[in-house]
Amino acid sequence: MDLDYDYLVVGSGFGGSVAALRLSQKGYKVLVVEQGRWFKSEQFPKTNWNLRKWLWVPFLRFYGFSRLKFFRHITVMAGAGVGGGSLVYANTLPVPRKEFYSTGSWTGLADWEKELAPYYETAAKMLGASTNPSFGPGDLALEELSKVIGKHDHFEPTRVAVFFGEKEKIVPDPYFDNEGPDREGCRFCGGCMVGCRYNAKNTLDKNYLYLAQKKGAEIWAKNRVDDVVPLGGNLEKNQGESGYMVRISPLGKFGLGKKRIFVKGVVFSGGVLGTIPLLLKLKKKSLPNLSDQVGYSVRTNNEALIGVVSRQKDKNFSEGVAIGSIVHTDSHSHLEPVRYSTGSGFFRLLMAPMLSGKNFGHRLLLLVWDFIRHPIDNARAYFVGNWANRVQIMLFMQTIDSRLRLRRGLFGMQTGIDYGVKPSAFIPEAQELAKGYAKIVNGKPLVLPTESLFGIPTTAHILGGACIGRNDKEGVVNTRNEVFNYKNLLVVDGSSISANPGVNPSLSITALAERAMDLIP
């Protein structure tokens, strides 16, 4: 049978974009299928109050680039669109500490720190990693907190995927010998996570995907992969040696316009919220020999997200890049201040006082008591004029491990406990640091009500579910990111991350994808 493409890549985030470029450079004919839409710089919303452009809720015909997904054990923030998580992430590109390379299901299968080192360099270069040159009020407050806790030596500016050229000046491509698009210098407006409207953020559509298209890769936006079927008969014995038939549906067309594409191989790169539900569906249907480990070892980076609303009217906390600084608070924990652009105050509708209690009833009483004791403070926190200018979100991350399981349920995807204690919304270190930061900025800490009342934590970095293992009893993919029991199927995204990095994982996903593609002939 004649094949339509050599490889079909499902998703265009940090894994899929690398696959699209590197496979195209090796002479393969590549198709990228992405559920989300294309965005030009001027199409991003001015603030996150423009829900139709900002949020991804397809059944409401909201085709934005920011996803909020609520589960029993975790609330997940993720990206959607051509460029995946790069459209909405905070640009930060740290390299994990040594513990990351020697824990989890990939332990002992390679010297991962040495193995990935050159790929981290390649990934940083491709993403245009630069040290943040300018601190905003939120960064300066974090520096002051680092002195208070005796960690000033561990405070530093972040490396971010931003072009720091001359403000408002458009210049020819500064990264790829004029092979890439023109760029404009950062305005330090804090709008990185609402979509960079000024062409300064190094999103994947400006590097990997841009160059992949020049090499012939095709990108189909607003399309969804429904099925992947090995060619040649008996599904129980078929390992895909002859290739695969992939069913694709256009989004929002009510079943019309479906296509069948024949390919040699498939690269699953839809992120945890895309890849794992699809693999679980395929295991029940057309890929029965997928490992039983699909959906296991899902990690949350052990995160806490706490908003501190300041009473200081003379400071604008939206100034700067989304995350401009970081402090390493102990051997396994990190703290970063996160900001949104001026006017982006949507999250004020989703906030409640930070607290901790033994159970729902206890926390409900504490919540009511907080409003009774501090009516003025709470009113100021909720009704402050320009919320984004007065709030700093504190992102706390740890390498400490806890693991969830994603599984298909009667009403969609569900979470369960895989190993250890369930992730907690009440991390004592995070809450103490938030209180210390609040003292410095004269503010009040707030969290999502799912945390205050139900104890469900929030993460912007969900990982795992299709981890690297020694065999199909210990993982879903091998050390080359190849799916066990099938030919030319790979998982190349955050789903294959097999340990808890404890820092923003985008650079690690990109480096692992670079390595996986380098191993393909």
Which residues are the active-site residues? 461
Q: What does the block give as tokens for 362?
A: 């206890």
Q: Which candidate, 426, 423, 427, places its Cα nearest to that of 500? A: 423
Q: Where are the alpha helices (DSSP H) in 127-266?
A: 137-148, 208-214
Neighbours of 211 (CB within 10 A): 20
Residue position matching structure tokens 């924990």? 333
Percent helix, strand, coil in the chain, to 5, is 30, 25, 45
Q: Where are the alpha helices (DSSP H) in 374-499?
A: 375-383, 387-390, 428-441, 449-452
Residue position matching structure tokens 């050599």? 6
Q: Which candidate, 326, 314, 303, places its Cα nearest to that of 398? A: 303
Neighbours of 135 (CB within 10 A): 19
- Whole-number Å distance between alpha carbons of 36 and 57: 11
Check residue 185 and report its DSSP letter.
Answer: B
Residue position matching structure tokens 């995070």? 430
Q: What does the block give as tokens for 70?
A: 């609520």
